[in-house]
Amino acid sequence: MKTESRMAKQFNLLLNDLYSLSSEIQILLCVAVWVIIGVFLRALFVQGDADATLMVWIVLFILVNGMLSGLIVAMLVALIATLIMSPYGVFDNTDFSQGELGLRGIAMLCGAGIGGGMKRLIQDLNARLYNIEHRVQGTELPNYLAAIKHLEKLIKLNKTESQELDILNVQLENIEQIRKLVGQKRADQQIKEFADILKEKLGSSSHI
């Protein structure tokens, strides 16, 4: 159980590192996956329907493409691959029936859907996790961890740029009593309104 949890954590970290890469590198990775899919399609064209393993690899790399580029692009790749296998494509040396072609197309579309769905799910989960770790629940304002990370970023920038860094620490007294009097939701709303007013007074470049 611990091994599976560790593997899942490592897999999630790998995907996070992948999605944090620049868009140019991600596009290059997608192109590499498309080339691999093309190579397998060519091998399937040469061997005919003799090796079903090639079809499994094509579906697998279409799934990987979905995890890299998203649902829409992966669906387009699956449709193009299905069209290539059809009588209107280049597979004139194979005898795919309509049923076989349909099953292959469904398998590739399912791979694209699973890959694209996994990417969207992982991104949504990471966004929720970031909000939990870096936002105050209720007000959705940045918490201490977000403030520390923002300060670290400003300090790094300040090493190369001659800018002054001002830190203002504001503490609201009797906040628990206010919550008891007006309720949690209303108190959070008032804190958010106060933060908006403070940000307006300090300027748009300020971090509240």
Query: Over the stretch 108-125, which tens digit does the pLDDT of each residue have?
Result: 889 889 988 888 888 888
What is the mean predicted confidence (pLDDT) over 15-43?
76
Q: How far apart are CA 62 and CA 106, in angstroms?
A: 12
DSSP 135: B
CA-based nearest residue to 107, from 50, 60, 40, 46: 60
Q: How far apart are CA 203 and CA 161, in angstroms?
A: 20
Residue 8 scores a pLDDT above 70: no
Sign of the torsion angle spanned by Cα atoms 196, 199, 205, 208: negative
Query: What pTM did the predictor assign?
Result: 0.62
The predicted structure's pLDDT at residue 184: 79
The predicted structure's pLDDT at residue 101: 75
The predicted structure's pLDDT at residue 87: 66
Amino acid identity of residue 148, one-letter, is: I
Helix (H, G, I), strand (E, B) or coil at 142: strand
Q: How far apart are CA 39 and CA 100, in angstroms?
A: 21
